[in-house]
Structure 1
Amino acid sequence: MLDDRDRKLLSLLQQDAETSVAQLAEAVNLSPSACSRRITRLREEGYILRTTAEVDRRRMGLPTTMFVLLRTSEHTADWLERLRAVAADIPEIVEVHRLTGNFDYILKIVLPNVEYYDVIYKQLVHRIRLHDVSAYISMETLKSDAPLPTHHA
Structure 2
Amino acid sequence: MMENIDDTDRLILRALQADASTSLESLAAAASISVNTCWRRVKRLEEAGVLVRRVALVDPESVGLGQTVFVAIRTREHSADWVERFAKAVRSLPEVVEFYRMAGDVDYLLKIQVGSVKDYDRVYRALISRIDLADVSATFAMECIKNTTELPL
TM-score class, shorter-chain normalisation, is over 0.9
Separation in 1, partners of 2:147, 2:83: 27
Give the aligned residue type for 2:18. Q
Partner of 1:47: 50
Separation in 1, partners of 2:128, 2:75: 11
Supply the RMSD in Å over aligned alpha carbons: 1.0
Question: Could you say what secondary structure the match of 2:33 adopts?
Answer: coil
Give 1:4-153 correspondences, 5 Å limit.
4-150=7-153
Separation in 2, partners of 1:50, 1:80: 27
TM-score scaled by length of structure 1 = 0.94
Aligned length, in residue pairs? 150
Deviations 1:65-116 (A, max 9, x none): 0001100010111111111111111100111111111110011000011121
Separation in 1, partners of 2:63, 2:99: 21
Q: Which runs of 5+ in 1 are unaligned?
A: none
TM-score scaled by length of structure 2 = 0.94
The share of aligned pairs that are identical, in percent, is 45
Q: Which runs of 5+ in 2 are unaligned?
A: none
